[in-house]
Amino acid sequence: MSVRLNHAAIFFNEKTGEFHLQGRNFSYIFKILKNNQLGHLYFGKKIHHRDSFSHLFTISPRSNTTCQYEEDESFSLELIKQEYPSFGTTDFREPAFQIIQENGSRITNFEYIKHKIFKGKPKLDGLPSTYTENEDEAITLELVLYDHLIETELTLFYTVFDRFDALTRSAKFVNKGNQRLSLTRAMSVNIDFFDSNFEMLHLSGAWARERHVKIRKLEQGIQSISSTRGTASSPHHNPFIALKRPETTEHQGEVFGFSLVYSGNFLAQVEVDHYGVSRVTMGINPFDFNWLLKKNESFQTPEAVIVYSDQGLNGMSQIYHELYRTRLARGPWRDKIRPILINTWEATYFDFDEEKILNIAKTAKELGIELVVLDDGWFGNRNDDKTSLGDWFPNKKKLPNGISGLAKKINDMGLKFGLWFEPEMISKASNLYKKHPDWLIQVPGRRLSHGRNQYILDFSRKEVIEYIYSMIDNILSDAPISYIKWDMNRYMTEIGSLGLPPERQGELSHRYLLGLYSLLEKLTSKYPDILFESCASGGGRFDPGMLYYAPQTWTSDNTDAVERLKVQYGTSMVYPLSSMGAHVSGVPNHQVHRITSLNTRAAVAYFGIFGYEFDITKLSEREKNIIRKQIDFYKKHQELIQTGKFYRLLSPFTGTKNEVAWMVVSRDQKEAIAGYYRILAEPLPGFKKLVLKGLNPDFEYKIEGLPQTYFGDELMNFGILLDELGGNWKKELTGDFVSLVFALHTL
């Protein structure tokens, strides 16, 4: 039995009970074990299908093991690599799930019942996920297991894409019995690798230094990253890890990527056991999680997206980029060229009125900017960060004509208008709080902590979602708004809901996310032509879950060009340039107070969704001319940047850490743009060259501003001699914080 597409296939060997999932370049094989549970056999480079893979299965007896059958001293789950393991029946590693029953037992026995293989990919109830536009893009395996004692069904979902070396996994639990069950752990994916000869790569940091690349060698024991912040996946750890071989580089070698389509508490973990087996698990963080399942109730885990590459880290990244750009992001803005914007935040903060915004808009129009975004401070009585969150109506003292009047005036200039919201939060100094103090996340009798003088609305409650929806809908239906910046600046503390019974308090963090997703689904469905950009104190919620609703994310509150090199480089491990908000800001920079040139600030911001964020009304004529040229350059290359293949060339995390380089190549390889950055000047440096990637070796390329032409093989093997650049090129390499941008096209 099998279902095949052009490059993908799923086979079932009925006699041996084996499932073989094939992608373009990978194979994933598992089988039904003697105990009717599932054992993992292989995940790696694509291999031929055959009628039996029994030779890949081994359970060689080991001393001091516990075994499931009295007559069989070899069948121990401690020795077997598994698909979705439980705890307590001879496997002592951390499990994929755990269910507490009414008698206190945590022991389960889910056995294979049936499966089906079909073209296409089903949606997940209430959760974001990758998708297909027709059934010939992917194949799905739904595999059903059942525990007869507790009368509970477990369905494992596997989808293989035809175009991408990507496999998605999730799980669904359904209580079909009469007892109440507590699901305390429900991971989205588990894979037991044959060995532990890997390095674990993850993206960690903090506010203003998000997604820095970290690499560590796997050792016996548990190595993990996680979030317990409730409202966000967090800037501290991104819901992504990769396992790469020690010899794997950016462009060569084997790597396995794991990315969770979720925006809240998560756990990504690798446990190496005493036999050198690496168990990867990823899903909702079991810490502070408890989900009650009554009769006929179900729980669906978020989706994990697993990518295989034998073309190094950059090969893995390119798969994620194309998949997330075209089959995670949705709506008209998925493929449309995004407008170049000016955001008012660093220009005005809370201190503005209509006249000031209109003056910014007038200057923006002169420069070629296309969208004016009014940030925080336009609503309620908001003049600082202490009031008015929840009161989503215009501040008529600042904006006497309201949002509608301001937006129409900006539209009349030939510009689009955008608006900032932080709908998930509430201020105590607000009309909403006076009416509904019970709508805060809180624990009765406990002091409420605050962050940024704000508190969190209980999005697990449908009445809260409906109220916030109606407030935003009133604004959007009344004014010509083209863009929304959706912000979130507060993590959960005193986690409790006055709307949930005691036995469901452990569900709040996940229910909050389900409420958020439902609100975003409702708004994006009604207003599909509005471009949404997500934000969470910058990049605190830069995750696949939010990309499903908002095709771009504010990458970091840190707009310093030098710091952005690390942030954008790390972000590119998983996320496409089309998802990265990247702005040119003023100097001294508002976060690190560094002074960098206007050229370098733009050279970094080009490699993302481009915009500006400072008071452009104070520019000199010289600076205005520079910005006009920057905007012309970006518009000329915007489609290439947004849809091309991205290559990392020099890393800020390895080597000298003083040079960074990357490039984008068009799908037909006829165009490319490369950025080179040197952070600090060096005394008597060695000779420098920049070696490019991704070009056609037989094409002849012209680099704008240089007299000669180059064949692709020259540029990819020898490179561009930076020392021999003359004129303005050489001048640009003088001093600290310098950059060069090369635009290439074929003759």
| pLDDT score recorded for residue 732 | 83
pLDDT > 90? residue 75: no
In this prediction the pTM is 0.97
| pLDDT score recorded for residue 71 | 79
Residues 81-98, mean pLDDT to the nearest whole number: 95
| pLDDT score recorded for residue 731 | 80
pLDDT classification of 76: cutoffs 50, 70, 90? confident
Q: How far apart are the first and last CA of the chain?
A: 51
| pLDDT score recorded for residue 270 | 98
Residues 90-100, mean pLDDT to the nearest whole number: 95
Cβ atoms of residues 214 and 251 within 8 Å:
no
Alpha-carbon distance values, 328 to 128, 266, 323 (Å):
8, 19, 7
| pLDDT score recorded for residue 436 | 98
DSSP state of 53: -
pLDDT > 80? residue 536: yes
Residues contacting residue 296 through CB under 8 Å, at least 6 positions apart: 174, 175, 176
Dmax (CA) of the chain: 88
- Residues 215-226 pLDDT 10s: 999 999 999 999
pLDDT > 90? residue 140: yes
| pLDDT score recorded for residue 1 | 77
> The tokens of 324 are what?
């997330």
User: Is 478 assigned a catalytic role?
Assistant: no
Residues 222-236, mean pLDDT to the nearest whole number: 97
Which of the residues 162, 376, 557, 560 is marked catalytic? 557
Residues 230-254, mean pLDDT to the nearest whole number: 97
> The tokens of 335 are what?
């493929």
pLDDT classification of 103: cutoffs 50, 70, 90? very high
pLDDT > 80? residue 727: no
- Residues 389-447 pLDDT 10s: 999 999 999 999 999 999 999 999 999 999 999 999 999 999 999 999 999 999 999 99
| pLDDT score recorded for residue 300 | 98
| pLDDT score recorded for residue 142 | 98
Cβ atoms of residues 546 and 534 within 8 Å:
yes
For β-strands 255-261 and 152-161, DSSP reports them as unpaired
Residues 569-584, mean pLDDT to the nearest whole number: 98
pLDDT > 70: percent of the chain: 100
Cα–Cα dist 260/272, whole Å: 21
- The more confidently predicted of residues 90 and 716 is 716
| pLDDT score recorded for residue 166 | 98
- Residues 18-45 pLDDT 10s: 999 999 999 999 999 999 999 999 999 9
- Residues 331-347 pLDDT 10s: 999 999 999 999 999 99
| pLDDT score recorded for residue 686 | 87
| pLDDT score recorded for residue 158 | 98
3-class DSSP assignment, residue 715: helix
pLDDT classification of 64: cutoffs 50, 70, 90? confident
pLDDT > 80? residue 90: yes
3-class DSSP assignment, residue 544: helix
**244 sits in which H/E element:** strand 237-244
**SS (HEC) of 570-626:** HHCCCCCHHHEEEEEECCCCCCCCCCCCHHHHHHHHCCCEEEEECCHHHCCHHHHHH
Average pLDDT for the chain: 96
pLDDT > 90? residue 530: yes
| In the block, residue with structure tokens 């499903």 | 548
Which of the residues 310, 487, 543, 560 is marked catalytic? 487
pLDDT > 80? residue 711: yes
pLDDT > 80? residue 358: yes
pLDDT classification of 516: cutoffs 50, 70, 90? very high
- Residues 670-710 pLDDT 10s: 999 999 999 999 998 888 999 999 999 999 999 999 999 99
pLDDT > 90: percent of the chain: 94
Which residues face 158 on adjacent strands? 141, 169
| Short-list 14, 18, 11, CA closest to 40 | 18
- Residues 613-644 pLDDT 10s: 999 999 999 999 999 999 999 999 999 999 99
User: Is 438 assigned a catalytic role?
Assistant: no
447 CB-contact burial (10 Å; exposed 0-12 / middle 13-18 / buried 19+)? exposed
Residues contacting residue 736 through CB under 8 Å, at least 6 positions apart: 679, 680, 681
pLDDT classification of 68: cutoffs 50, 70, 90? confident
| pLDDT score recorded for residue 629 | 98
Count Cα atoms within 13 angstroms, Cβ side, for 13: 17
